[in-house]
Amino acid sequence: MTDTAQTAPTGVPEKWALGETFVPKARYTDRDFLQRELDKLFTQVWQIACRAEEIPDPGSFHEYRVGKQSIVVIRQRDGSIKAMHNACTHRGMKVVSGCGRAEDGELRCRFHGWRYKLDGRSTFVPSREEFAERPSSEWALRQVHVGEWGGWVFVSMAENPPELLDWLDPLVTSLAPFRLEDMRFRWRKRTTLPANWKTVIDAFIEGYHTPGTHPQTMRTAETPAPPAHPAKPQEYVYAPYTPTMTYPNHSRFVYTQRPDTGDKDAARQKAQARPEVFANAMQYNYKEVGSLVTERDYRAAQQLRTMEPGEVPPFLLYHQLCEELALAEGVKFPQMSMQEYFGGNGDWHIFPSVVILVEKSCVLGYRMLPDADDPDRCVFEMFSLEHFPEGEVPETQWQVFDRWQDHDGWGELPTQDLVNIADIQAGMHSEGFDGMWLNKAQEMSIHNAHVIADRFLFGDGS
């Protein structure tokens, strides 16, 4: 575990103050805390607005909403991207809604007909001579900072944010070999959840919950469709071990073997080394997660199932088969060493609101955004990105569901997480619960996110 060595700001109210491994529940339930996040955190940090391919042509725009703030991200005539507050400088009317393309290369307010260039400059004000004189900059839409990395468009409403690539460290270096910018959506879904946005984030930035919530993932030795009955205490001995690595602005965890069980149970170790056992786990991910494994990877896993144990570990055989299939089918597959793979593979929390699980061929992602008024409600997005052969990128749109239960295609594993969310948030309000006491090895990503947030909520953000 990496120590962020960050100094806690002074002046944090006691009901919100972090302990060494303790996080008080008021940070998840108080309306005042939510308002502070909206005012002091989300207005100051870099955050993902959209994918660059969502605004492909000059005039293409995407509205990003967080709390009561609305930002329009728009492709310029020269191919660059600009971002502006989505409010006409006359009476505050939103200039765009949703996503689309600006007609005639201009943005137009539907209220009084004011018009703006794609870069936000004012081009037409009806009866302008009847207004008081103002500098030209005050007629224009107000700019926000914008940057790109990994195929995403980031925005920051801060006056002087840090350089985006500095803010993202170490993701930029660690994930460069995976070429995330070349990936495209396989699918994307959005719904609302009856929980604080951080309650949902927390469920996806630690792996300690895996045996309790997803017990079937420990039972792939016999079948790619294992039973999901609750794990017995003895099964927890061999549960995945997911140590946390924390950084100044982000965190990461990886699945590995618990140090104190590595040399125990030789029979189990031998079984885990069989190709069909590893293949079962990959096939499960494809069937019941819908990501982390592509359709090509699924075929590679089927091929792996037929192979006998040998000197090459199943993990390496699988990666070789995946690469061979991808190259044969015209995919510009990322080339990297195993050292580079392990340096970037894993579960990354891109603070504040995005989580990505990174593999060579695809990415499983989540985004959670706060409600503007209710600390017990948030927007939840789930998506999969993939490397496709040229010319074979599927057409996708955001599938939107008022309730997550209205869609039966989340897959078994994500559904198990979603089933938990409402009850976790409800439990936060119990008089018998004060806050979270975190696992020092596997849950400090949660604590780290609060430490980062406190720099903005109660300090100067540095």
Bridge partner residues of 380 (DSSP)? 191, 368
**Which of 108, 133, 161 corresponds to the end of one domain?**
161
Residue 315 located in a structural domain? no
Contact between residue 318 and residue 301 where contact means Cβ atoms under 8 Å apart: yes
Residues 452 and 349 in one domain: yes
Contact between residue 317 and residue 307 where contact means Cβ atoms under 8 Å apart: yes
Give 306-348 as a DSSP string. Answer: TPPP-SS-HHHHHHHHHHHHHHHTT-------HHHHHHH-EEE
Residue 29 located in a structural domain? yes
pLDDT at 375: 98
DSSP helix/strand/coil, 124: strand
Residues 419 and 446 in one domain: yes
Residues 357 and 370 in one domain: yes
Residue 271 located in a structural domain? no
| Number of structural domains in the chain | 2
Residues 147 and 221 in one domain: no
Residue 391 located in a structural domain? yes
Residues 203 and 244 in one domain: yes
| pLDDT tens-digit readout, 30-47 | 999 999 999 999 999 999
Residue 404 located in a structural domain? yes
Q: What is the CATH number of the domain that holds 142?
A: 2.102.10.10
| Confidence band of 261 (pLDDT split at 50, 70, 90) | low
pLDDT at 262: 56
Structural domain including 89 reads 47-161
Give yes or no for residue 222 having a pLDDT over 50.
yes
Please provide the average confidence, as pLDDT, over all residues in the chain: 94
Contact between residue 293 and residue 267 where contact means Cβ atoms under 8 Å apart: no
Average pLDDT over residues 44-62: 98
Residues 138 and 248 in one domain: no
Residues 59 and 190 in one domain: no
Residue 321 located in a structural domain? no
Contact between residue 396 and residue 49 where contact means Cβ atoms under 8 Å apart: no
| Confidence band of 1 (pLDDT split at 50, 70, 90) | very low
Residue 291 located in a structural domain? no
| pLDDT tens-digit readout, 367-401 | 999 999 999 999 999 999 999 999 999 999 999 99
Residues 150 and 210 in one domain: no
**Which of 161, 192, 210 corresponds to the end of one domain?**
161
Residue 154 located in a structural domain? yes
pLDDT at 263: 61
Residues 14 and 74 in one domain: no
pLDDT at 270: 74
User: What's the pTM?
Assistant: 0.95
Give yes or no for residue 137 having a pLDDT over 80.
yes
Residues 100 and 249 in one domain: no
H-run or E-run covering 26: helix 26-29
Look up residue 218 and give its two tokens.
């420990």
Q: What is the CATH number of the domain that holds 191?
A: 3.90.380.10
pLDDT at 266: 67
DSSP helix/strand/coil, 48: strand
When comparing pLDDT for 257 and 23, which is higher? 23
Residues 229 and 360 in one domain: yes
Residues 365 and 461 in one domain: yes
**Which of 161, 191, 223 corresponds to the end of one domain?**
161
| pLDDT tens-digit readout, 394-404 | 999 999 999 99
Q: What percent of the chain has pLDDT over 70?
A: 96
| Confidence band of 426 (pLDDT split at 50, 70, 90) | very high
d(CA 311, CA 341): 21
H-run or E-run covering 208: none
pLDDT at 4: 42
